[in-house]
Structure 1
Amino acid sequence: MSVTDDAIEAIKQMIVDGELRPGDRLPREVELAARLGLSRNSLREAVRALALVRVLDVRQGDGTYVTSLEPSLLLDAMGFMVDFHRDDSVLQVFEVRRIIEPAATALAATAMPDEDIEGLAVLLDSIGDDPSVEELVDNDLEFHRRIAVGSGNAVLSSLVESFSGRTQRARTWRGITEEGVPERTLAEHRAIQQALAAREAEVARAWATVHIAGVEQWLRRALVDQPPA
C-alpha cells in the first residue's frame, strides 16, 4: 500500500469512526498531517483523491469539508467511470443490472405505496401503444427509477439509477434495430406492475429478471454480429 493509500485509509477511518461527520471541516493540513504521521504531500494527494469520488469537498479559501455522504452523491463517481465504457463492457453493466434490479423490484413489492404502484400503470398508459423509440426509452428509464425508489433502500436505488441511465444508448439502439421492441417492453413492464400491485415479490423479481436479461441477450448477439473494426 502506498503512502497516499495510507492517508486515504486514515481519513476514511476518521469518517467511519464518527470523528468526522457529514459537513465537518477537516483540521488544517499541517495539523492533520502531523496527527496522522503523514507528509503534507501524501495528505494532499489523499484529499485530492477523496474529492474526486465526492467524499470530500475542497472549498478554495475556506477549507476541506466532508460531503453529505448521500449514496446518490457518492455513486456519481461510479457513474462517471461507467460513462467511459467500451461497447463490449456495457454487457457487464447489464449483468449488474440483472443482479440488483430484480432485488429492488422484489423489495418494492412489499414497500412501495399503493398509489405509486398505480402511478406506474398511468406512466405506461401515457405513451400509448405505438411510442417512438425516444418516448419508449424515456418511459423505460422512469419506470425503473420509480421502482428503485419504491424499494425503500436509498443505496440500492442509487445503484439502480446509476447503472440504468448508463445503458440508455444500448436501449435506444435496440429499439431502432430490433422488431417488436415497444410491444415486448410494454408487455413486460405491465407484467412487473401487475405483480407489484398483487404484492407478489417473487413474481415481480422473475419478470424483472426476464425483462433485463432479454436486453442483455440481444446486446450479446449484436456485439458478436458486429463486423471487425
Structure 2
Amino acid sequence: MPLTPTTSASLVDQAIEGMRALLASGEWTVGTRIPPEPALAAALGVSRNTVREAVRALAHLGVLHVRRGDGTYVAAATEMQALMRRQVDRVDLEHLLEVRHAIEVRAAALAAERRTAEDLAVLDAIMARRHEALEKSDGEGFIGADVDFHVAVVAAAHNPLLAELYDGLVETLRASIDLPGTADALAAEHDAVLDAVRAGDPVAAAAAGAELLDHVER
C-alpha cells in the first residue's frame, strides 16, 4: 500500500496531538509555562514553524495563552474546559448554580453506584484535610480541600465527560467558597454526601448532594 505523503497540515495536527498528550498526562498543568519553541520542536520531532502554528491553534481554542515577551502558558487542560470557562464568565450566578445542581447531584448518585475503595480513600483523606485546615484556621487550605471534595465526588462517578464538564466550573467554585468561622456550618452536609456514597445508596447521595447545594445558595 502506498504511503500518504506527510503534509504541513498533518505535521501541525501531529504537534497539536503531542501537546494534548502532555496536557492529558498532567505533565503540563494549568498555569504553567510550556517549553520554548526550540525545545518543543525537538521533543515533538517537527520544525519551529510547525510548533508555532500548533501553539496558535491551541491558543485560539483557549487551551494556551501567549504572553508577549513572557512565554506561553497553559490556560485550560482541554478544549472543553476552555469552552466551559468562557461560558461560565458570561452567565448569571443563578444559571451557574443550576448547572452545579445538574452535575453534582447526578454525580453523587453515580458515585454511590460506582465508587471504588480507592475513591473512598481519596474522599476520606480530603475530608481529613478539610477538618484539619478548619482547626488550624487555614483558610486557603480549607478552600482547597472543599473544592477537592466536590471534584473527587464527580470523579468517583467515573464518567469522563461529566468530570470534564465539571472541571470548567472549578475556578468559579473556588472563588465562591466563603471562609468558615470557628465552626464549619456545612460539615454535616459534606459528611452526609460521603456517608451515602460509602453506603452505595444513590438516592440518599443525590438527596445529600442537593441539600448541600441548597445550603450553599442560602
Normalised TM-score (structure 2): 0.59
Rounded to whole Å, the distance in 1 between the matches of 2:146 and 2:154 is 12
Match of 2:109 among 92, 106, 111: 106
* Equivalent residue, structure 1, for 2:60: 52
Q: Residues of 2 paired with 1:168 and 1:201: CA distance?
A: 26
Shift of 1:190: 1.2
Counterpart of 2:121 in structure 1 is 118
Listed as ranges, the matches of 1:78-93 within 5 Å are 78-82=83-87, 84-85=89-90, 89-93=92-96
Tell me how far 1:120 sits from its aligned partner. Answer: 1.0
**Residue 211 (1) aligns with residue 212 (2):** yes
Deviations 1:86-143 (A, max 9, x none): 7xx2232111101111101111111110232133122211242534332221111111
2:143, 2:177 within 8 Å by CA — same for their partners in 1? Answer: yes
Indicate the structure (1 or 2) with the bigger Cα radius of gyration.
1
Indicate conservation of the 8 Å contact 1:114/1:197, yes or no. Answer: no
Counterpart AA for 1:171: I
Aligned residues: 155
**Quick one: distance in 2 between partners of 1:136 and 1:112?**
24
The CA distance in 2 between the partners of 1:90 and 1:164, in whole Å, is 14
Give RMSD over aligned pairs: 3.3
Deviation of residue 196 (structure 1)? 0.8
For structure 1, the 5+ residue unaligned runs are 1-22, 26-47, 56-71, 219-229
TM-score normalised by structure 1 residue count: 0.57
Larger mean CA deviation between 124-133 and 201-210 belongs to 124-133
Other-structure match for 2:33: none
Asked if 2 retains the 8 angstrom alpha-carbon contact of 1:121 and 1:190, the reply is no
Map 1:131-146; keep pairs closer than 5 Å: 131-146=137-152
